[in-house]
Structure 1
């Protein structure tokens, strides 16, 4: 009986252990199956996402590569330019430029290599027009009225406006020209960095980067010169001539436009510092000069010195 009981006990143990082992193995397989399912699902989601991202990237790259680079920095369409010129020439401002003068400047800006560097002396009714026409280019304005300059910059933060303190008087034009000619080999050289110059006609208190830019187009339409103590445009014209001749790179030629060319200061200083030999186009109100980069050892503003002196003396008399 003792043996029988032992056998029964052994059998009982076997019966009790067998289901436990079976249940444990089944649980492990379930966990393994669940893990494989989750891993497979994650892999499929990753694969689908990667393929979609790749498709979008490929499509974007294809569109970008098929789009000409020039369209990104494309110039303004002719219709837009002509519209701007039309409405600017119809302005109610008494001192606005006429259509032919606006078009002359606009035509040069359109031919200018991009980005075009455009420097303007004077804040006028055409200020916003110049910014718009020099699309994708660099446009900088210089004005003698610090309060008006601040007002314009606050009203139109997209504009780069700097004020400058002129120390000249219109009534001193002849003395200032004579002084510049006497110092032509020293402080008033035609090729120099005006930032370090003490020439009476040179503007040396502009922001440093203004002297470092190779300007493609310069417009002199300021400062004021309507009365004897007004600053006049002598310094602006002289500075424009020096900046054009002192370029370090870029296009060796610079277009300089001189507005109100009928005025005495504009004609005399234009002939003296921009030179008649460089005058390529003129109207009653606008002079268009094209100046070339000069050697730093040059001591003459104009190549044809004798003819220029004769024309200046004739104009003054």
Structure 2
């Protein structure tokens, strides 16, 4: 028995060096993995910061370039006005009427926010003259607004429903006078107003913009049942007085066809004679309207408009 056991038994010896070598290899492997993990994290952090810095720098560069880009030269603007006035139909503006608007757009210290009531033969001209600014058009005809946007993708146009009639001018103005401390205040967000002359169905964003220049050249107003421009003029006057001040305290408001009685009477009532800079020899009224305190309840310093005529 002892011999069998002694013959079949094999003695295996594990030298301590072998165990130490295995532990050492695992340490090296762990150190190797840790090194590359750290290197990967550092690379990721550096790349992320570099991308963020690059994006921020690019955005800043674009904003700076837009702000610092000079307006169109006088020669270019003069040429645009010349060709627009000579190619216009009888419904278009004359050179005398277009030039004051062009001059104001050029004098904007920063890109202008330009609101235009009416899609007219001068639509592309206004977009071009307001170089780098935002020009928004409001029209009564939804199909024509959609057509213009499709034909000229650079045009931003919206349609609005007018519920007024020219024959109702005196009654509408009288209603505003009665509600001047409530729904028809000079300073308010018209989006939440039920004033009969206030346009409250424009895109919400348009009520938050500080408009530098507003042109009223629509809607139609050539017969008693036409919507007339009373609502557009009233809305322009409220938008000008309700500015938050980011774009300056004053708004230039131009009224085309100022020689027509309804347009002139409504302008005198809400844009006010004391704000009239001048009226051209043709058909343009130019008003400069200042921002007002929200507790103001009077459009003009004195009411001189007579509704009896």
Q: How would you bin the TM-score normalised by the shorter chain?
A: 0.7 to 0.9
- Aligned residues of 2:230 and 2:266 also touching (Cα < 8 A): yes
Q: Which residue in the other structure is 1:111 paired with?
A: 107
Which secondary structure does the structure 2 equivalent of 1:201 belong to? coil
C-alpha change, 1:107 and 1:199, in structure 2 (3 Å) is: same
Q: Which residue in the other structure is 2:158 paired with?
A: 162
Cα RMSD between the aligned structures? 1.8
Q: TM-score, normalised by structure 1?
A: 0.75
Q: Which residue in the other structure is 1:264 paired with?
A: 261
Pick from 192, 197, 202: which aligns with 2:198? 202
CA distance in 1 between partners of 2:195 and 2:92 (Å): 32
- Structure 2 gaps, min length 5: 1-56
Q: Which residue in the other structure is 2:130 paired with?
A: 134
Q: Which residue in the other structure is 1:171 paired with?
A: 167
- Aligned residues of 1:190 and 1:241 also touching (Cα < 8 A): yes
Q: Which residue in the other structure is 1:291 paired with?
A: 289
**Mean alpha-carbon deviation: is it higher for 277-286 or for 70-79?**
70-79
CA deviations on 1:79-138 (whole Å, 9 max, x unpaired) are 111110000111241111111111110000000122110000000000000000000000
- Aligned residues of 2:67 and 2:111 also touching (Cα < 8 A): no
Q: TM-score, normalised by structure 2?
A: 0.77
CA deviations on 1:24-60 (whole Å, 9 max, x unpaired) are xxxxxxxxxxxxxxxxxxxxxxxxxxxxxxxxxxxxx
More helix by share: 1
Which secondary structure does the structure 2 equivalent of 1:288 belong to? strand
Q: How many correspondences in the alignment?
A: 246
CA distance in 2 between partners of 1:91 and 1:209 (Å): 35
Q: Which residue in the other structure is 1:151 paired with?
A: 147
C-alpha change, 1:181 and 1:150, in structure 2 (3 Å) is: same
CA distance in 2 between partners of 1:287 and 1:152 (Å): 27
Q: Does 1:276 align with 2:283?
A: no
> Which is higher, the Rg of structure 1 or of structure 2?
1
Q: Which residue in the other structure is 1:87 paired with?
A: 83
CA deviations on 1:193-247 (whole Å, 9 max, x unpaired) are 0000000000000000110000000000000011111100000000000000000
Q: Which residue in the other structure is 2:11 paired with?
A: none
CA distance in 2 between partners of 1:298 and 1:270 (Å): 19
**Mean alpha-carbon deviation: is it higher for 111-120 or for 178-187?**
111-120
- Aligned residues of 1:114 and 1:136 also touching (Cα < 8 A): no
CA distance in 1 between partners of 2:137 and 2:191 (Å): 18
CA distance in 2 between partners of 1:223 and 1:205 (Å): 15
- How is 1:1-317 mapped onto 2 (pairs within 5 angstroms)? 73-249=69-245, 250-283=247-280, 284-303=282-301, 305=302, 309-310=303-304, 312-313=305-306, 317=309
Question: Once the 2 structures are TM-superposed, how far is the Cα of residue 156 of structure 1 from its aligned partner?
Answer: 0.5
Question: Once the 2 structures are TM-superposed, how far is the Cα of residue 73 of structure 1 from its aligned partner?
Answer: 2.0
